[in-house]
Amino acid sequence: MHGLYNFVRGPLAWVAFILFFGGILYRLISMLLGARKKDGVVFDYFSLYYGLRSIFHWIIPFANRNSRQRPIFTIVTFAFHICLLAVPILLLAHIILWDESFNISWWNLPDSIADIMAIIVVACCGYFLWRRLTQPEVKFVTFASDYVILAIVAAPFITGFLAYHQWFGYKFMLILHMLSGEVMLAAIPFTRLGHMFYSPFTRAYMGSEFGSVRHAKDW
């Protein structure tokens, strides 16, 4: 078990981070080069001001009409995304790892809060699962891969929660937790989780078209 632990913590973590950062870089660069080749229009009409204007209206809850029409979804999705980003970055146990490996550290969330936030992430995943299973307009556009993606996202939080509470064998859970976290990192650039880095571009492009050509709002 110790050998496995070291492997997951060492080389596999490197692989995951390289795939994550390298993958994002690769996807973004190929998107921009591809756009240069066939969709020059994206650059011609791009406007930083209108792009940001649009992004702001979509990263602030209830700042656009659709989010006001679906208050529950809006609260769930914002809670989900905030916790999803904050917990892995601001968890004390993670920061200690960074400190041990690279001698860098930053402010951390109190463990009890991080714990609740992990539960929020899992609960939100449950909500998304419920939507996919029961809401006809979501069910119709759901593929098997959408469930896999949901599982990939939920897994590190479930295993992390279990490991923190030392249920079902700490070491074993910890290995599962690291593994699932690595799977998620590596999956982001190569699945629809890539909306994480694509969405600012698609939003900004639509914002630019609406702002500078159409003279209309897009929220």
Write out the residues near other proteins by the rule CB under 8 A.
30-35, 37-39, 41-42, 44-45, 54, 58, 64-66, 69-70, 73, 131, 135-143, 146, 192, 194-195, 198-199, 201-203, 205-207, 210, 213-219
Residue 60: left if φ>0, alpha if ψ -120 to 50, beta else—which one?
A: beta
Shortest gap between Cβ of 184 and other proteins (angstroms)? 15
| Among 193, 198, 156, 187, CA closest to 19 | 187
Cβ of 195: how many Cβ atoms within 10 Å?
Answer: 11
Residue 195: CA atoms inside 13 Å, Cβ hemisphere, count?
A: 5
Query: Strand, helix or coil at 109?
Result: strand
Q: Considering the complex, state which of residue 5 and residue 73 has its C-beta at the smaller distance from other proteins.
A: 73
Please state the closest distance from residue 66 (CB atom) to other proteins, in A.
Answer: 4
> 177 vs 203, which CB is nearer to other proteins?
203
Between the alpha carbon of residue 109 and those of residues 37, 100, 152, the distances in Å are 45, 18, 23
Place of tokens 């998620």: 184
Per-residue DSSP letter, 91:
B
Report the nearest approach of other proteins to the CB of residue 85 (Å): 16
Supply the minimum distance, in Å, between the C-beta of residue 80 and other proteins. Answer: 12
Taking a C-beta distance cutoff of 8 angstroms, is the pair 219, 63 a contact?
Answer: yes
Shortest Cβ 46–other proteins spacing (Å): 11
Which lies closer to other proteins via its Cβ, residue 94 or residue 131?
Answer: 131
Rank residues 31 and 93 by Cβ distance to other proteins and give the closer one: 31
Q: Which is nearer to other proteins, 39 or 99 (CB)?
A: 39
